[in-house]
Structure 1
């Protein structure tokens, strides 16, 4: 079985995609505090440059949908030193019924959320396969079950979870010393969620007691990078309910409908 080095040891290079704001920025902040040389990426060149200045890290504007951009990021990171951590965080969310969403929104979510993780993971494994490291893919609580109103988004995140666990199996069989992890956070108070808050189809996101904070998600990310655990969902109690809804949709979907109504009240109150 593959054995990855502890990414907290030494000052290896850490790459974080989609890090101009939200989860990515907070994860990058913690990696800096741990002594890593950090390189962050984002499609928004101005925002990623500003965040890099704030954190004192390197920045490369990049599009997660483009394999060549991941290769370019990996090359830039290698110039800083051996890559020991790679976090595929870039993601997008568009609310709406699957049959009503514009084609470009469907395509965007699939290309960024799923293909971006696949392309990024391939680049990460190539960068770390000789000396070892940790690959962290940001999935979602929606990876575990149905999310009416966010069907396309949920499908991409379920695929990220499946891809990551399957990839870990491939790495272990091949004896490649890279450890793959998937973090599945519930909805958080980020621009990703707030930008879609006006849509009733985001109601399930607001059905939890309170939105997670980016700092809580970043803390959970560090916990995964510190160990051998492959998947972690936060908060844990929500993942159990989602798994039941996924395994028994005839039972789970009516329950989710009630949670949606509860979440819609919180969505409106918090807007």
Structure 2
């Protein structure tokens, strides 16, 4: 076992001679930077041409004293808010650094794209009004309607419920005790829609998503696209067997 402070991450290129069963290192980048460039996960190297590479160290994490973290960045951040997360991406041409990008978070992969599309008629770009292309698809509803008593009351402040509405979707965030039956309800003039809110506590398999995990595992986030919605809807919340008002409405 090598301690994180003594570790490094690097991109490397080998030549493999299958006849002689020998391996020769032809190129590397990163070893010389030591713990500054060390990531225990989420790194990649892109080959563009001979001598031209992009090396991405996406999971860098330091503790509050500047030591390379012994934990993956997302977990270290949850335990110590002073943990520093970074990603460093370096483009090298013939062993010279042509570009270096440092970002204050962990990122899964890096790649470099041309600024303009090469297709005919796509190179004359102008500033103007943005346009949404395509849709996010319709969010699945609960197959079974859950009966609940109308309380007429505003949902308790304890739930810390809040809604973010965007042009094509809405995000509902609230806090629940694990195992609570919770449903987001959209009541319109022509229809009522119910969306299940998962309150079960579970492990997250992809560590790169941990950067965005809340500190409190009772916090939930439910996203509903506006595809399939038509008109104005009142936003309500079912908690166990009771339905509460939020005082909010959305339009699609």
Q: TM-score range by the shorter chain?
A: under 0.3
Greater strand share, 1 or 2? 2
Greater helix share, 1 or 2? 1
Larger of the two Rg values belongs to structure: 2
TM-score, with length taken from structure 2: 0.23
